[in-house]
Amino acid sequence: MCMNGFVCCDFMFLFVHSDFECILHNIPLSHIFDIKTFSLPSHKIQTLGQTLLSEKLTQMMEWASKRSVIRMNGDKFRRFVKAPPRNYSVVIMFTALQPQRQCGVCRQADEEFQVLANSWRYSSAFTNKVFFASVDFDEGSDVFQMLSMNSAPTFLHFPSKGKPRRSDTYELQVRGFAAEQLARWVADRTDVQIRVIRPPNYAGPLLLGFLLAVIGGLAYLRRHNLEFLFNKNVWAFSALCFVLIMTSGQMWNHIRGPPYAHKNPSTGQVSYIHGSSQAQFVAETHIVLLFNAAITMGMVLLCEAATSDMDIGKRKIMCVAGIGLVMLFFSWLLSIFRAKYHGYPYSFLMG
């Protein structure tokens, strides 16, 4: 006998949620239904809701105790995220980690997401207010289709009440996927402050120590001839390298932690240049650095051609090479600028 979303049989009760999730309870009909009207008392609905919520929380806490980032497929997503009742928030990373997807950015983002989730799971302030989960494309393609999602990685916050808003989608290409940036976004959406704790990394200090040792060793070997320290070409080259690194956006990368590039998991197309003027990829800074270096080299060749004492033939070659480098790479640099600043009217050689 079926009536108003309830399937009834002898001393059994099947409650069907709005998302078609079924929970079976051994409850006598007389304890639930008013036989005359076949209506469900409100206190019974509230009791069942509280029981279901308690079961979901218990299950989520059990999963979180085993893995800081709960792995979800389509069924788990519909049951524990989409279907009510739910009084906890879930931050989900939608990713594509399988080797055949060749998503290097996904692996990098996953490492930062794990750092964030571990920092929350093993902190003294850990509660059941927020959970971290992931949905892999190969394990939950139906979820990607449900949410009309065609790129990875993507971070979404599902609030405890209501539907996700636009601000519940993390701006990955603007803010990067560093755990610290993700923690600020989570704090903004959930009011949960997470102090990011990273495992110790000795690579930086060791590399710095090795570099200082090499410089000290070279200075010791040439302690009787330190004229190279007063060589203006050495200092000019060092200053030029520093300027190129800073003007290419390396400091922005260090602060924001953007991905190296972006690969669309649906089409497989890799983007090395970000389409917005408010963000950039790491590969983009490398490209800009090389273009600026080539333009600088062209200018140096032009200056040498004008002031050098070499024969006229070599000076002409240097002049032509310098002009070619400046024109070609400045044109490419300007085309990148036009691609990021839509509507910029000027171009050079390349439209």
Q: Report the DSSP beta bridge partners of residue 25.
A: 13
Q: Is the pLDDT of residue 22 over 90?
A: no
Assigned token pair, 31: 């304890």
> Could you give the CA distance from residue 88 to residue 195 in angstroms, rounded to a whole number?
20
Q: Is the pLDDT of residue 88 over 90?
A: yes
Q: Is the pLDDT of residue 265 over 80?
A: no
CA torsion sign for 72, 76, 79, 80 is negative
> Could you give the CA distance from residue 255 to residue 180 in angstroms, rounded to a whole number?
10
Q: Report the DSSP beta bridge partners of residue 106.
A: none
User: Contact 270/307 with Cβ under 8 angstroms?
Assistant: no
133-142, 148-157, 219-228, 276-285: range with lowest mean pLDDT: 219-228
Closest by CA to 186, choosing from 152, 153, 157, 162, is: 157
Spell out the alpha helix ranges (H) of the chain: 29-32, 42-66, 74-77, 104-121, 141-146, 172-175, 179-190, 203-221, 232-247, 250-256, 282-307, 312-340
Q: Cis omega before residue 41 (within 30°)?
A: no
Reported as a pLDDT band with limits 50, 70 and 90, residue 30 is very low
Q: Is the pLDDT of residue 96 over 60?
A: yes
Phi and psi angles of residue 54, each rounded to the nearest 5 degrees, phi first: -65, -40
Contacts of 224 (CB under 8 A, 6+ apart): none
**Which has the higher per-residue pLDDT, 203 or 105?**
105
Assigned token pair, 197: 């704790």
Q: Which of 6-10, 20-24, 88-92, 340-344 has the highest mean pLDDT?
A: 88-92
* Reported pTM: 0.56
Element holding 133 (H helix, E strand): strand 130-136
Q: Would you call 310 exposed, middle or buried from its count of C-beta atoms within 10 A (0-12, 13-18, 19+)?
A: exposed
> Could you give the CA distance from residue 52 to residue 63 in angstroms, rounded to a whole number?
17
